Amino acid sequence: MAKSSSLNIRLVEGRALPAKDVSGSSDPYCLVKVDDEVVARTATVWRSLSPFWGEEYTVHLPRDFHHLAFYVLDEDTVGHDDIIGKISLSRDAIVADPRGIDSWINLSRVDPDAEVQGEVRLAVQVQEDVRGRRLRCHVLQARDLAPRDISGTSDPFARVFWGSQSVETSTIKKTRFPHWDEVLELQETPGAPAPLRVELWDWDMVGKNDFLGMVEFSPQALRQKPPDGWFRLLPFPGAQEDAGGSLGALRLKVRLTEDRILPSPYYQPLMRLLVESVLRPSEEDITSPLAILEELTLGDCRQDLATKLVKLFLGQGLAVPFLDYLTRREMARTADPNTLFRSNSLATKSMEQFMKLVGMRYLHEVLKPVISRVFEEKKYMELDPCKMDLGRARRISFKGTPSEEQVRETSLGLLTGYLGPIVDAIVGSVGRCPPTMRLVFKQLHQGVEEYFPQAEHQDVRYLAISCFLFLRFFAPAVLTPKLFDVWDQHADPQTSRSLLLLAKAVQSIGNLGQQLGQGKELWMAPLHPFLLQSISRVRDFLDQLVDMEGDEEVGGPAGALVSPSATVREGYLLKRKEEPAGLATRFAFKKRYFWLSGESLSYSKNTEGQARSCIPVSHICAVERVDEGAFQLPHVMQVVTRDGAGPLHTTYLQCKNLNDLNQWLSALRKASAPNQDKLSACHPGAFRSARWTCCLQTERSAPGCSRTHSAVTLGDWSDPLDPDAEMQTVYRQLLLGRDQLRMKFLEEPNMDPTPEADMGKGASATGGSCPAVGAQQRAAAARLLEVLSELDRAHEEFQLQEQGRSTLSRPRVP
């Protein structure tokens, strides 16, 4: 049985940040750290004290993580970035509310005494002799200590306190991974039993020493179980204090999801019920798992559940009937076709997530060329007279400050110059649209024709598709290309306004011009002729999109969203030469173009290179960051490989920025996840000048001095399908509706008691009994409740097995 743990993080916005620049503003961005690992960096929002990021991350991580931290910094072109403040959330604080954290949180000052990381390895013995009790503290080593010196290292030593006595180890220079292997002895002094405290410090020749962290053990712990092993370093108690809002605040949404994943056979009965759901008449269904989930889930849970369900049915080759089931249920409930698919229902959220999972490559092919032009050219465009800045627009005219009419005409030309290629790319993309997406739209088109056959509703068949493809896919990607990976940075204010105008135009085209000339945005009128001309082309495009033969899902059941041979990430990296003896560091790294698939990491001198070198993914043992001090270069990672029983081989690669590094680390770790012979430790430095730069060991074959982080990955649209984990999420959601289901379908006044009446408890009921329930519906409800109870029993039995109290060698498979 596997265990899964993931953090769902949404970094929404900031407010009232202090000004760090002479202009009276700041250029803020955030770093997200899980324990000692930087897992994400937001884009920089330029010239803002109330930045909006709206960035979401799913971080898969080990279950033993301790804390999550957000650091807000001001980006500076020259010199180091200024630290504004931080927010630190312990694991216990995150799990205190099952719904997670969703609030504004004040930033705290960054206190060096609170900025500790790493672990220390100790072996403690308490002995007695004629002189009394004596404590022997064997200080072996430490790892991943915080860098306190400008060189990116520290000069650590340990100080041990017991009662009124203290003693120190030697100082080891220029390392974050010191090996002391020193035994310190202290004699007990009269008085009450004292705790043992071990502090780590960075020695400084000038000024006071810098604190690196501490561990403390109570007298009871020393007596019952003397410490022996690795211990996480902690800050001084009360080192971090809330700044009372003087440093601003962040609005965060954080939820930790932890679960036990049962073996696949235990989920098969529930999977069969889900499959039966999508194959029955959707309008009459009120007792299937899907009908119950649709009724119960709200808000963020609905989006998460939609993603899991879409992945689940994609893996079964049933995404098309699943989406057809949900959309037809919504059509049956919609009285006014003009409001069809306008709410955030399970149907609309599932369609959104489906398009992202299946169509993200298609989206990039269609939009990226034009969006790249908008970012690179940085043209000033504005049609709204209230927002027009004639001073800023002076650059478009060499005859002094232009008039409003001149700015409007120039902006209109620029907008149509961008919109034209966007519309051309969309209407010419029928052949590039994934076949499964086209089949979903075909089913949607047929459903709308059946439910709304009247002549006055003939546009609904187009609007039903365009409200998803244009309003929920193309237009949001144009507005915020960073959130769809179309561009790797947020737009500056001017470019953001240009993207907003383009997104409004794409949205109007998707609405087939129904609201043109209405509302408050009459200043868009100069663009209307172009939009109306484009609408007829879009109608033809939608007709072609659904004009396909066959109703079966292309490819059938799948184990992954992308095939093992498909490229999941590519781009330029700097690769260190194998044996760069005598070369300066900057000459030892050469630019190469890399392709990563589920089978290999290959590279060549350029994108057209036919002769590619190849690293089999099956040979990868570890993918880790490299300390900046190893080569005096930032954003370097290492790929450690081994061919069979041969020696380890390390390839060093430099990425262009922190986000690029995180994405390559995550992609490589996910690609190599099935590999068996993973390393539990490696060297975060390099072997140079006959020693490791990290721990200073002189043997190339010395064991790694830092833990590996193979379990830390970022979730994205290309993640492999995991049916068991997805089924576990569905099961947890169904538990919330179990009492309601029982009361509605089983607990009728004249019914005989059934075994199901004594099943486990779920969430509080919100529905009452229903005397008109038919025998078929009652039987379906009882069947679902029995399946949930079987899963309850399996979870309880596996939990007892873990605790060593189970009476069975393995729980019964239903």
User: pLDDT value at position 342?
Assistant: 86
Here the tokens at position 42 are 């937001």
Query: Could you give the CA distance from residue 57 to residue 721 in angstroms, rounded to a whole number?
Result: 18
User: pLDDT value at position 553?
Assistant: 59
From the DSSP assignment, how many helices (H) and strands (E) are in the chain?
19, 28
User: pLDDT value at position 423?
Assistant: 96
Cα–Cα nearest to 350, from 296, 316, 305 = 305
88: left (phi over 0), alpha (psi -120 to 50) or beta: beta
Residue given tokens 């790294």 in the structure block: 589
Predicted model pTM: 0.80
Query: Could you give the CA distance from residue 109 to residue 596 in angstroms, rounded to a whole number?
Result: 41
Q: Are 637 and 625 in contact (CB under 8 A)?
A: yes
Here the tokens at position 333 are 């409930």
Angle at 39 between CA 33 and CA 43, to 5 degrees: 95
Q: What is the block-wise mean pLDDT of the chain (814 residues), using blocks of 10 residues?
A: 82 94 92 89 89 90 86 90 92 86 93 85 89 90 91 93 92 94 89 89 91 94 92 80 80 90 92 87 69 74 86 90 92 87 90 93 94 93 86 56 84 95 96 94 93 88 94 95 84 89 94 78 89 93 90 56 77 83 68 92 87 90 93 94 90 93 93 91 92 92 92 81 88 84 66 40 38 68 89 89 61 54
Half-sphere exposure of 471 (CA within 13 A, CB side): 20
Radius of gyration of the chain (CA): 30
Q: What 3-state class would DSSP assign to 45?
A: coil
User: pLDDT value at position 112?
Assistant: 72
User: pLDDT value at position 73?
Assistant: 96
Cα–Cα nearest to 69, from 13, 18, 110 = 110
User: pLDDT value at position 757?
Assistant: 39
User: pLDDT value at position 584?
Assistant: 55
Instruction: Supply the DSSP symbol for 28.
Output: E
Half-sphere exposure of 379 (CA within 13 A, CB side): 24
